[in-house]
């Protein structure tokens, strides 16, 4: 038997999966963690600090900074504030209109 395997288009699979509200919610949360992780890494590297130096200034273990930068833990606002203090920066949080959320007026 000589069957051709049909290739699956990843973009089609992703688009279909993201139509599921639970999948979309998980994606949005994971994306927020990744954005925070990237921001922490960028500020740390810009200030030429190691993870250990930032953690020491916070009084926390280096592994916490590593987990945040790896998006393996959800950093609290308090922890992000501590990172800002440890790096001599200001924590700024903002919201913008979502392209995917329900339009609520309550």
Q: What is the pTM of this model?
A: 0.77
pLDDT of residue 99: 73
Q: What is the DSSP string of 22-42?
A: HHHHHHHHHHHHHHHHHHHHH
Distance in angstroms (rounded) separating the CA atoms of residues 43 and 102:
33
Question: What are 15-70's pLDDT values in tens digits?
Answer: 888 889 899 899 989 999 999 999 999 999 999 999 999 999 999 999 999 999 99
Q: Which of 65, 69, 98 is nearest to 82 (CA)?
A: 65
Distance in angstroms (rounded) separating the CA atoms of residues 39 and 31:
12
Q: What is the DSSP string of 87-101?
A: TT----------SSS
Q: Which of 45, 68, 44 is nearest to 54 (CA)?
A: 44
Q: Are 33 and 47 in contact (CB under 8 A)?
A: no
CA dist list (Å): 87 to 8, 56, 93:
45, 11, 16
Residue 106 has pLDDT above 60, yes or no: no
Domains of the chain in start order, with CATH, are 16-86 (1.10.260.40)
């Amino acid at each position: 038997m000589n069957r051709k395997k049909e290739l699956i288009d990843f973009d089609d699979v992703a688009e279909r999966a993201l139509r599921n509200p639970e999948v979309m919610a998980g994606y949005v949360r994971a994306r927020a963690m990744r954005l925070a992780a990237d921001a922490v890494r960028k500020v740390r590297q810009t200030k030429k600090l190691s993870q250990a130096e930032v953690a020491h200034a916070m009084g926390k273990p280096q592994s916490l900074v590593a987990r945040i930068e790896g998006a393996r833990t959800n950093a609290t606002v308090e922890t992000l504030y501590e990172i800002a203090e440890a790096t001599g920066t200001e924590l700024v949080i903002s919201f913008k209109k979502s392209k995917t959320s329900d339009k609520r007026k309550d």
